[in-house]
Structure 1
Amino acid sequence: MDWQRYTLLGGIVAVVLALIFQWNEFKEQHTPALDRETVIRSESRGTETTPHANTGDSDVPQLQSQTGSDQGEQKTGRQLISVTTDVFELLIDPRGGDIVKVALRKFEEELHSPDRPLILLNQTRDHTYIAQSGLIGQNGTDSAAGRPLFTVAQTQYALSEGKDALTVDLTLQQQGANITKRFTFNRGDYLIKVSYLVDNTGDTPWSAAMFGQIKRDDREPPVDTGIGVSPFLGAAIHTSEENYFKQDFEDIAEKPTRESVEGGWVAMVQHYFLSAWVPPQDERNTFELRELSNGLFRMGFTSPQVQIPAATQGELSASFYAGPKDVYRLEEISPYLDLTVDYGWLWWIAKPLFRVLHFIQEHIVSNWGWAIILLTVFIKALLFPLSAAGTKSMARMRKFAPQMKKLQEQYKDNRQKLAEETMKLYRREKINPMGGCLPILLQMPVFIALYWMLTETVELRHAPWILWIHDLSAKDPYFILPVLMGASMWFMQKLNPQPTDPTQARIMQLMPVMMTFFFLWFPAGLVLYWIANNLITIAQTWYINKQVDAGKV
């Protein structure tokens, strides 16, 4: 009996949902805690002495044969320099002046954890992700043999209220030169200027080149991306042939990359966030992506050598970005850096969609959930002429379904005659059997582009909508939205003609259940889009069906 079948199906669904809840609880309880403690490591020593040496042991790139000695390592260790701004909690190692930790104060590690800002860069016992910079060449301070130990006036710096900028100076006395490594932080900005101020006190020219690099292992960040979503994790640069050339860690290990371009940038990309070195844009810089022998990866640049005459001052500088994938800010920093917000091959559709979504949120509703719904309405209105044609064709097929069924029963033993009579019916009633498919296919690129746009939009991270939805980038904790999506999909099917083949009809009936299961782990923002899209399609289909039934279309 039907009631027994439905009772059994309901019981199976209840058991599956209970198992899902239990799995989520188990996963949360057994997820290893993130190691937040920053440690100081001794620098590697190596013998790399040529520009193209590939031993991978050196901690810094090499311009020419360089030798050096460890410059002042203290037996008692060293204290990290703490820098706090309105957007950063940051640690700098006086050994080399490397940035060994970056925590983003405006982004929580987890929802409702304001005391734990998201850690983007860090050097812990089991994880390395740091930003290094230095000087190499004839008078360089960094070499394969060691890194310089800077001195600093204090070990704690903070951006004061009412101040828009903070500078942190690390100093080093070199034979014939006084060098200041200066970090400049600006309020509300994730871009850090790193400058080397060189006072050449000697009687010969001073010459060196600046390098900047991101050193990282291949450990994936602890991000729950759900099913079907696999954001890119790896390095990216701007090359002479590609505006956005990306390599994951396996690609880098298999084939290192070396490229020289005017300007350019090198970035470490992950879901929602990135770090990037941006050297001077008016110089020809050399970029390198490769694996080191210790299992780490180096993604960096080297600028041309600068010569500072005797008894004069000069400056070498670059910028380092560590923060969210803010499309508008990345566009300002360097050409094509905004492509690290990776919308895939349909970026040319996704970028305009994001700008519309951002405009709606910024100027109309001030809520990303409602902005997604209004964007869906905007897209459906834009594509209405296309989708309406397909809906009308489907409505006509639904209207004349009884006649088609009668023909199938009448000519069930004569397929050729059935095909002839069916085509006559199509021509007489102006039915296009492909009319419902073509508009859907033409709309698919828009839907795919919107999917990736919502997946890559950092503004949705921890963005609430209403009631129980506190994070549009995470799955619905109670799976209410996926169930509503499945119900709307089922109702939408009922408004369209059903397949005449029993097997196809059975598969179509299972589709809402299957899609509901897949959408259980999708970000709530994406599920919200599909619900809005389905509801608008239901209203549109119902209206057109009424028009066709009344003979008005």
Structure 2
Amino acid sequence: MENQNKNLLLATVLSFLVITGWMILFPPAEPEVAPQATAPGATAPGDATTPSTAPTVAGELAAAPVNDRAAALAETVRIPIETPDLAGSVSLIGGRIDDLHLKAYRETIDPKSDTVTLLTPAGTDHAYYALYGWAPGGALEAADVPGAATEWELVEGETLTPDSPITLAWTNDRGMTFRRTIAVDDKFMFSVTQSVENGSDEIQRLAPYGIIARHGEPDDLMGFFILHEGVIRQADNELAEIDYDDAADLAIDPREAAHAEAVPVSQNGWIGFTDHYWMTTLIPAPGQPFTSVVKWVQGADIYQTEVRLPTVELAPGASSETTTMLFAGAKEWDTIRDYEKDLGIYRFIDSIDWGMFFFLTKPMFAVLHWLHGFIGNMGWAIIGLTVIIKMILFPLARKSYISMARMRELQPEMEKIKENAGDDRTKQQQAIMELYKREKVNPASGCLPLLLQIPIFFSLYKVIFVTLELRHQPWIGWIQDLSAPDPSSILNLFGLLPYAAPGPESWFYFFSLGAMPILLGISMWMQQKLNPAPTDQTQATIMAWMPWVFMFMLGRFASGLVLYWISNNLLTFIQQYSIMRLHGHKPNVFGNIIKSFKRKPKEKDAK
């Protein structure tokens, strides 16, 4: 019994230390307010044949910053975007895709709240947009190629829909005609075709590019280590995640105006910005070589991801055409998976941050997603996933519980060994190990299921925290968002008292426990009562406090994760109780509860 309790204590304390260290050392950071960009333009990448030395052209968009988004949109002629999932517009200045809303997603669980805004035009706080153009080469100059400030003419289409693309045109003073056709599907994928016809009487050299520009860090940046926010890039077989502060620290010549890193990609890759639930990504055609660039423009505080395609050389009368894709939308698992499969986008599913336990998080989410589709409620799907996990681990759990029962049977013999060995600890340990060997008992197997719960717990936390599919998903009653903490509070008797519970700005918030964290503490406490308290007073004290410490530590975790832990505790209780009964031991749960409330007699002073 003593060894069994030590194993349980070891596993519980280890879990507690990991979670406590996690929350103390890496708490969710308050959203940082990014500085206002002093120059609202993007930089042109220059000649793609020399990407590492491409010139920086800041301030190509010279509009004065304004705080009103509607005013910024009204400054340019626009072509509407209307799809089942997207609404917005394309600016004829630069042909920029800089106004985009996600129609299926709202800012809060209130159905009347605003839809999520993904892209916003230059001239506003935190401008965020995609633009395309051609970098000049040879005798061409910047004014000879279309860029961020080019005034395009709409020559085909009126509204960009899945059934009707739009085509823009522009002709330079040399007689070169540029066209840009923008198409969109019924989800989040744009297709941008850039073409040029050399109407001049000279050979011309130029290179197409695509840019996603972001002015300052996003204002809703979480800064939590479990989630990557910033640049994400697939360059052939290498996936890179670059935080905003790392992008600003890219090693360059200090005389340059921008910090940049260029990586050649031979045939498969993509690059863009990823947020908690949304993403904007430039995707060249599979098999297309290109240069993948991350850039930060100092002074203007503009982050850029760029796709620079190879330079083309056009004889007089010749033409060239290239097509790239732009993903701008929600990180829906099934949508991204379908794009990877149907469009051949290499490892596109890894744009979702699966973490270091990806071998657990990926299949875990796939099962959860299937259960959600089958059941229709994410809360019950989490409970179903818990049942499946317990079934998979049951053989190991059964072996563990049987080992614990055998340890209990050996307890009288172990007490005799201790009496015979006296104070000789070495002799005592040797005799106990011989007993284990003779009876074929492994004392360490009792804590293995508990230790396995740690990576499973972290993996499920990752799934619940990162994946979009749990955002704003209800369960029952007051739990209307499984990705958020339990909104109820014991401080106002769960809504019975006529005042609101304290918010995060108050230090009382730590004690504002919801109903689910309290149920979690009770379920852990009940699980402990399957066995008598340890005879060692230090162990007994730690074990007695553990459920309530966990209750407070997990009180601010996502409701979905707390629901998993409660379900897991209840299933573990049922499993352990049943197996103990099958092996002739009837747990005295009620008696152990009564003993835990009895006052222990004070030790008398030795005389």
Which one is further off, 458-467 or 432-441? 432-441
1:485 aligned residue: 520
The aligned runs of 1:368-383 (5 Å cut-off) are 368-383=378-393
Unaligned residue ranges in structure 2 (runs of 5+)? 1-29, 61-73, 251-259, 489-513, 587-607
1:3 aligned residue: none
1:182 aligned residue: 181
AA paired with 1:237?
Answer: R
2:496 aligned residue: none
Matched, 1:472 2:489: no
Alignment partner of 1:107 out of 102, 105, 108: 105
Alpha-carbon distance in structure 1 between the residues aligned to 2:33 and 2:244: 24
- Contact 2:31–2:220 under 8 Å retained in 1: no
1:258 aligned residue: 262
Matched, 1:320 2:320: no
- Contact 2:40–2:215 under 8 Å retained in 1: no
Matched, 1:545 2:543: no
Alignment partner of 1:337 out of 345, 348, 355: 348
Q: CA deviation at 1:233?
A: 0.8
Alignment partner of 2:150 out of 127, 132, 148: 148
Alpha-carbon distance in structure 2 between the residues aligned to 1:155 and 1:144: 20
Distance change in 2, residues 1:328/1:137 (3 Å): farther
SS in 1 for 2:124: coil
Alpha-carbon distance in structure 2 between the residues aligned to 1:345 and 1:32: 26
SS in 2 for 1:486: helix
AA paired with 2:397?
Answer: S
AA paired with 1:247?
Answer: I
Alpha-carbon distance in structure 2 between the residues aligned to 1:421 and 1:104: 69
Q: CA deviation at 1:78?
A: 2.8
Unaligned residue ranges in structure 1 (runs of 5+)? 1-29, 61-75
Q: CA deviation at 1:404?
A: 5.3
Describe the superposition over 1:279-304 as per-residue Cα deviations: whole angstroms up to 9, x where unpaired.
Answer: 12222110011211222111111111
| Count of residue pairs brought into register by the alignment | 496
- Contact 1:346–1:449 under 8 Å retained in 2: yes
SS in 2 for 1:170: strand
2:362 aligned residue: 351
Q: CA deviation at 1:434?
A: 0.8
2:12 aligned residue: none
SS in 1 for 2:469: helix
Alpha-carbon distance in structure 1 between the residues aligned to 2:134 and 2:473: 42
- Contact 1:327–1:338 under 8 Å retained in 2: yes
1:24 aligned residue: none
Alpha-carbon distance in structure 2 between the residues aligned to 1:442 and 1:545: 21
1:519 aligned residue: 554
Alpha-carbon distance in structure 1 between the residues aligned to 2:233 and 2:102: 23
2:465 aligned residue: 455
AA paired with 2:376?
Answer: S
Alpha-carbon distance in structure 2 between the residues aligned to 1:81 and 1:320: 17
AA paired with 1:137?
Answer: P
Which one is further off, 87-96 or 370-379? 87-96
Which one is further off, 191-200 or 512-521? 191-200
Q: CA deviation at 1:170?
A: 2.5
Q: CA deviation at 1:55?
A: 7.0
Q: CA deviation at 1:107?
A: 0.8
Alpha-carbon distance in structure 1 between the residues aligned to 2:476 and 2:45: 59
- Contact 2:95–2:148 under 8 Å retained in 1: no
Alpha-carbon distance in structure 1 between the residues aligned to 2:147 and 2:327: 28
Alignment partner of 1:95 out of 72, 93, 101: 93
Alpha-carbon distance in structure 2 between the residues aligned to 1:40 and 1:168: 32
Distance change in 2, residues 1:529/1:229 (3 Å): farther
Alpha-carbon distance in structure 2 between the residues aligned to 1:142 and 1:416: 88
Alpha-carbon distance in structure 2 between the residues aligned to 1:55 and 1:427: 74
Alpha-carbon distance in structure 2 between the residues aligned to 1:428 and 1:95: 84
- Contact 1:387–1:440 under 8 Å retained in 2: no
Q: CA deviation at 1:538?
A: 1.0
Identity %: 31
Query: Could you say what the CA RMSD is over the residues aligned between the two structures, in angstroms?
Result: 3.7
- Contact 2:33–2:217 under 8 Å retained in 1: no
Alignment partner of 2:274 out of 265, 269, 273: 269
Alpha-carbon distance in structure 2 between the residues aligned to 1:115 and 1:156: 29
Q: CA deviation at 1:235?
A: 0.6
Distance change in 2, residues 1:499/1:121 (3 Å): farther
The aligned runs of 1:207-246 (5 Å cut-off) are 207-222=205-220, 230-240=226-236, 242-246=237-241
Distance change in 2, residues 1:411/1:119 (3 Å): farther
1:508 aligned residue: 543
Which one is further off, 132-141 or 470-479? 132-141
AA paired with 2:543?
Answer: M
- Contact 2:158–2:166 under 8 Å retained in 1: no
Alpha-carbon distance in structure 1 between the residues aligned to 2:318 and 2:169: 17
- Contact 2:93–2:148 under 8 Å retained in 1: no
1:52 aligned residue: 52
- Contact 1:398–1:497 under 8 Å retained in 2: no
